[in-house]
Amino acid sequence: MGKRTLLSFSPQIKVVDATLRDGGLVNSFYFEDEFVKKLYQTNIQAGVDYMEFGYKASSAIFDKSKFGKWKFCEEKDLREIVGNNDSDLKIAVMADVGRTDIDKDIIPKNESVIDMVRVASYINTIPSAIEMVENCAKKGYETTVNIMAISHANESDLHEALELIGNSSANGVYLVDSYGSLYPEQIRKLADRYLDMGAKYNKFVGIHAHNNQQLAFANTIECVVSGVNYLDATVSSLGRGAGNCPLELLIGFLKNPKYKLHPILKFIEEEILKLKKSGVVWGYDIPYLITGVLDRHPSGAIDCIKNNRTDYANIYLELMGLE
């Protein structure tokens, strides 16, 4: 595929709003129904292509009393928000390898408002991810494999994983920069490897970026230029740790006139400011820069933020393992 230019737009591009799913990692999925309903309407008005509502987590593994309903995404809860979803917005959920009871919790597509199941996996569990994909594909769903923590994968493992996915029923594969450690130059190189596989096996490629180094938006649009078509974003970056590619920046960038910025700005002023005021904390901050630079899981930074630590120089030494 030829490189895209700024004045072109491609109808193959799909914007995936992951606000509830990645944001749910910040507030244990306790979103008010009002928030979720408004976000659903906002996404429809803004021309967003997919809305990911949360996880399909197994209630045998996770205690339902300790999480909001969007960790489980039961059919009745989805329908409470979207009815039969008479809209162009497709509904996605995420299923983690090892944390989902796929036989019990994923019903046949013709009984569900869900359109797409995204299977999240580390690179060493790709065979299990593919088993889940085949199960969901057989039930009638669109599917993806989202390979997490890609900055820690070695090249030969990645090659093998992409070949396995290429030969599976998955519709697409996602490049996931879980640690927000990758620079645009690295993202371009990785995207090219994914895109080569995608061209060979007719799979789309997606990008899911984190904002530890204020690069989530930049890395996402660099992927667009390369030919990546599925773009994850969240309103105001709402997501774990430093958060994600801000949906409002992505929609402002995309040239397809079907995308509208105004409804998203309205949602931010009406709902996101309220959420922030209520004490939910996320987004770029110095501890996330540190784990990003060091290419580490953000958990250490999340602990620092929770404990209101601002001794950044010490945090840096600690996370480097020098103290």
Q: Where do contacts with its own copies occur on this chain (CB under 8 A)?
A: 5-6, 183-186, 211, 213-219, 221-222, 225, 246, 248-249, 252-253, 261-263, 265-266, 268-269, 273, 286, 289-290, 292-293, 310-313, 315-317
Output the smallest distance, CB 291 to its own copies, in A: 11
- Residues 91, 94, 95, 96: what is their CA dihedral angle, to the nearest 10 degrees? 180
Cα(15)–Cα(37) distance, integer angstroms: 19
What contacts 116, CB < 8 A, 6 or more positions away?
50, 90, 91, 92, 93, 141, 142, 143, 144, 171
Of 42 and 168, which CB lies nearer to its own copies in the complex structure? 42
Of 47 and 292, which CB lies nearer to its own copies in the complex structure? 292
Output the smallest distance, CB 88 to its own copies, in A: 22
Of 99 and 193, which CB lies nearer to its own copies in the complex structure? 193
Output the smallest distance, CB 280 to its own copies, in A: 17
Of 43 and 125, which CB lies nearer to its own copies in the complex structure? 43
Output the smallest distance, CB 12 to its own copies, in A: 18
* Three-state DSSP class for residue 306: helix
Cα 106 vs. chain centroid, distance in angstroms?
20
**Helix count and strand count (H, E) for the chain:** 14, 8
Cα(255)–Cα(209) distance, integer angstroms: 20
Of 149 and 286, which CB lies nearer to its own copies in the complex structure? 286
Output the smallest distance, CB 176 to its own copies, in A: 19
Task: Specify whether the CB–CB gap between 266 and 260 falls below 8 A.
Answer: no
* Three-state DSSP class for residue 249: helix
Cα(96)–Cα(73) distance, integer angstroms: 13
Of 183 and 199, which CB lies nearer to its own copies in the complex structure? 183
Cα 14 vs. chain centroid, distance in angstroms?
13
Q: Is the dihedral of CA 200, 224, 73, 101 positive or negative?
A: positive
Of 32 and 183, which CB lies nearer to its own copies in the complex structure? 183
CA atoms within 13 A on the CB side of 95: 30
Output the smallest distance, CB 270 to its own copies, in A: 9
Output the smallest distance, CB 94 to its own copies, in A: 25
Output the smallest distance, CB 235 to its own copies, in A: 11
Q: Which DSSP letter does residue 114 get? A: -
Give the residue among 7, 16, 5, 6 at the shortest CA–CA distance from 229. 16
Of 103 and 323, which CB lies nearer to its own copies in the complex structure? 323
